């Protein structure tokens, strides 16, 4: 996955989850699905720490599955 695609995905995620804006994702390659011509998929994990009123902090993780073309297939997040 090239840096332009990663930047595009990061900007889309930052719009939906502003607390992870500016966080560099960790990237892992996922197993390729069976079938000819299937694009490779990648797991991008964005992590951040959000301070709450009263001195509490919440760790936030946003996991994104995307293909080679930068198309987001799935987004999951922690609470």
The DSSP output letter for 30 is P
Task: Report the residue count for the chain.
Answer: 79
20 has pLDDT over 70 = yes
Q: 3-class SS at 56?
A: coil
| pTM of structure | 0.84
Q: What is the pLDDT of residues 21-62, one digit of tens each?
A: 999 999 999 877 666 566 789 999 999 998 888 888 989 999
Count of domains for the chain: 1
Q: In whole angstroms, what is the distance from residue 31 CA to residue 43 CA? A: 10
Parent domain of 42:
3-77
Q: In whole angstroms, what is the distance from residue 67 CA to residue 51 CA? A: 32
């Amino acid at each position: 996955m090239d840096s332009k695609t990663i930047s595009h995905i990061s900007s889309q995620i930052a719009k939906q989850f502003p607390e992870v804006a500016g966080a560099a994702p960790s990237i892992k390659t996922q197993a390729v699905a069976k079938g000819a011509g299937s694009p490779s998929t990648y797991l991008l994990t964005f992590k951040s720490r959000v301070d709450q009123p009263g001195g509490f902090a919440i760790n936030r993780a946003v996991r994104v599955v995307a293909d080679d073309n930068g198309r987001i297939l799935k987004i999951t997040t922690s609470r």
